[in-house]
A = this chain, B = another copy of it.
Amino acid sequence: MELRAYLEQKRELVEAALARVFPEPGGPAEDVVKAMRYSLFAGGKRLRPILCIAGAEAVGGEGQGVMPVACALELIHTYSLIHDDLPAMDNDDLRRGKPTNHKVYGEAVAILAGDGLLTEAFHQMTNMKLSKELRPEALLRVIRIVAEASGYEGMVGGQVTDIRSEGKAVEPRVVEFIHTHKTGAIIAASVASGAILGGGTAAEVKAIRRYGESIGLAFQVADDILDVEGDSAKMGKSVGGDARKQKVTYPSVFGLARSREAQKELVDHAIRALKMFDHKADPLRQIAIYIIERKK
């Protein structure tokens, strides 16, 4: 299989599904709908939805069937970016080459747009079509996993630790906590959700979750490395921001050489976790490699 074509095909399916999530603006609350759509369609890679689809396909499920949950994962990711960019948080003016949400809509609407996206994510998940193959209990389990990965035990916990660690000399375990929680948890939940919704066995879901935990951490380490040596034109944002903000990153704690080693080890570990799967897990295998080789 050709990964570039796979990613492009799935991305288009996700874009089409996301376009149907919100109505065209209109009515008294249209400001927040516009703001939500602005960030949602600012040109993301749609990695989390694609991982959810690929997770379902790896266990023999039908990728298109998981779309409501795939969309929900992108809504959660988008909300987290809007709130992270706020002046009280990372205070970023640019994201993917465009002004950040609060720069366009103001802080109040940006906060509410984030809240609206997060809430709509859980609403979207209830749109999943139940069937003999997808029991409601499985969907409840997915909602639970996504909530855990997003909340104070996951993404929110990672973000607060990230902010509180800026400018401090922290132990290596803190940077690992930040990365596994802030980024890793929702990536692992994306691929595990797909495996559950696709009808995976307990052993399959467990293996795919392990894969997800490894690539989730690898993804953030790669992000840290890109912030040191990436090309700002390709990334749509200035590089070196982590150092300016005195962020705790893998390179700042472990150095660049060890960070590069670490991401390779994590990808090897992820691919080994998939050994029970046949060719249907090839997209997952290739995505693991893509995650550390991407330029943005």
Contact = CB atoms under 8 A, between A and B. Distances in A.
Contacts of A125: 143
A130 B88 CA distance: 41
Contacts of A163: 108-109, 112
B164 A151 contact: no
Interface stretch (A3-11, A25-33, A271-279): A25-33
A31 B164 contact: yes
B177 A28 contact: yes
Interface of A: 22, 28-29, 31-33, 36, 79, 83, 86, 88-89, 106-109, 111-112, 114-116, 118-120, 122-123, 125-126, 130, 135-137, 139-141, 143-144, 147-148, 150-153, 156-161, 163-164, 174, 177-178, 181
B109 A151 contact: no
8 contacts: A29-B153, A79-B115, A108-B163, A109-B160, A116-B151, A116-B157, A119-B150, A120-B147
Contact of A115 (B114, B116, B136): B114
B126 A111 contact: no
Contacts of A151: 115-116, 119-120, 123
B160 A112 contact: yes
Question: 7 tightest A-B contacts by CB?
Answer: A29-B157, A88-B107, A119-B151, A136-B136, A123-B147, A126-B144, A116-B152
Contacts of A136: 135-137, 139-140
Contacts of A140: 126, 136, 139-140
Contact of A143 (B31, B89, B122): B122
Interface of chain A, main secondary structure: helix
A47 B28 CA distance: 27
Contacts of A119: 118, 147, 150-152, 156
B130 A147 contact: no
A41 to B, nearest CB: 16
A79 to B, nearest CB: 8
Contacts of A28: 157, 161, 174, 177-178
A156 B123 contact: no
Contacts of A158: 29
A159 B151 CA distance: 23
B120 A152 contact: yes
Contact of A147 (B32, B89, B122, B152): B122
A31 B114 CA distance: 21
A169 to B, nearest CB: 15
B137 A130 contact: yes
Contacts of A157: 28-29, 32, 116
A148 B121 CA distance: 10
A28 B109 CA distance: 30
A115 B156 contact: yes
